[in-house]
Chains A and B, each alone.
Chain A
């Protein structure tokens, strides 16, 4: 029992079938098992259609599945604030709420009513994503990168056990993307929080992850390794080239 407690997240024999009992029946995930340590930054790489997004959605509780997902040893089947999802889509903020309210609304739902505390938490997380002073804007007034920053801030404010990120930077231009990567790296090192980060970008995985997993069709784990490269990682870092090659060949084998 005590051994199991060490893991923040355990995925056991998770299977997911799309279009069950029809001709298009497809095993998206087949018997996937995964254990994640506390405060790990797990980057999940995989080709399109390998089921990585589905796996993340199962963990978040948005999908039904066979198998089990436990957080801190407790089984979870429904969405909850212990696992907060940051989507790829910029439009994940509620357009009818200002930046501030978007961040505070889930906090209020958690029962935090004290105005001072709400305000303080908002300021704190906005500072972390470098958006101080933008509280009163509506989402439509923000750029894509800013929206993603708010989404991350919103997740941080809730102090979840795990933040699930589904290619949050994939739709950004290269410059903003690099910027946000380093912001996220800094945040992940400061925060006591576990991240599961999906990407199809090898560079991103090496830069951000403390552990890198490569999935193949059906959610089969073909690579699962600690990222030993010293942080912050740049293409000039020692071991970068070999790691890149290894992951690349695993991805496109």
Chain B
């Protein structure tokens, strides 16, 4: 009962917040506050709504936004998957070998600081000019924060679980899989959240400066709309990006959280 009340409250608060934000936007757009060319750089909600539909029907260069989204998602999922698997591998190996841990720790600290886009020239030379470059940049965006989280999670596993596991005859990989992974779930989930957001942003910024025309993505679409001064379309695409982000947050990440750490009483 109380819980339900809280949910309604939370929903109402969010709804009010969003509506107020939209009203402010509309007021700024309509008031001419942004100068004479207001409708060009600060389009009204109606214009953005129209552009939203136009993006999917007409798209750019005769290709609907759906196709761009599809291409981006494909590269994103590929990169995300590789990144997550590598992160598990890196942090797993770090727990097994002290030397590997020391090296890994340094590598994570160093590479996490490098913006993926700055690596582009090197990546192009190594990987060539193909969508794989984008995948690489997504992997780069996910891998380090994710590894850091998983590693921190492993280090925070209470000794007693490890000893209980060893007592049952677990060791090496089976101990990692049977104790460390489940015990670090809350860290892994928060790593996934950070990793997902970084991957999504990394993908878009990579696509905005490195575009393979045979596999055009959302970033390229946004850049095109910007180049052509189609700001309403650009904002509409940003809305699409936000919507995809929300779908992943509430459709994928929250359920994962609900049936793991929340169910186990490891997080409220």
Contact = CB atoms under 8 A, between A and B. Distances in A.
Genuine A/B complex: yes
Interface of A: 60-62, 78-81, 83-85, 87, 89, 91-92, 94-96, 105-106, 109-110, 138-141
Contact of B183 (A62, A96, A140): A96
The CB with the most chain A CB atoms within 10 A, among B167, B174, B266, is that of: B167
B169 A109 contact: yes
10 contacts: A61-B166, A78-B171, A80-B167, A91-B160, A95-B264, A96-B182, A96-B183, A106-B168, A106-B169, A109-B178
Given A138-B263, A141-B265, A109 B170 contact: yes
A81 B168 contact: yes
Contacts of B171: 78
Contacts of A79: 163, 166-167, 169
Contacts of B166: 61-62, 78-79
A60 B159 CA distance: 15
B260 A96 contact: yes
B160 A89 contact: yes
A81 B263 CA distance: 29
A5 to B, nearest CB: 25
Given A94-B183, A96-B183, A140 B169 contact: no
B218 interface: no
A110 B183 CA distance: 21
A79 B179 CA distance: 15
B161 interface: yes
Given A60-B167, A79-B167, A94 B179 contact: yes
Interface size class of B (residues with CB under 8 A): 20 to 34
Contacts of A85: 163-164, 167
A85 B260 CA distance: 27
Contact of B169 (A81, A89, A138, A139): A81
Contact of B167 (A84, A94, A110, A140): A84
Contacts of A105: 168, 178
B178 to A, nearest CB: 8
Nearest to A83: B167
A141 B171 CA distance: 29
Contact of A95 (B163, B167, B169, B266): B266
Given A79-B166, A81-B167, A91 B265 contact: no
Contacts of A87: 160, 163-164
Contacts of A141: 265
The CB with the most chain A CB atoms within 10 A, among B166, B260, B266, is that of: B166
A138 B168 contact: no
Given A60-B167, A84-B167, A96 B160 contact: no
Interface string B84-121: 00000000000000000000000000000000000000
Nearest to B179: A94
Given A96-B183, A140-B265, A80 B169 contact: yes
Nearest to B158: A91
B161 to A, nearest CB: 6
Contacts of B179: 94
A112 B89 CA distance: 29
Nearest to B165: A94
B185 interface: yes
Contacts of A60: 163, 167
The 8 closest A-B pairs by CB, nearest first: A140-B265, A106-B168, A96-B182, A79-B166, A95-B264, A96-B264, A79-B167, A92-B160
Nearest to B171: A78
A60 B166 CA distance: 10
Interface string B206-240: 00000000000000000000000000000000000
Given A80-B169, A81-B169, A109-B169, A94 B164 contact: yes
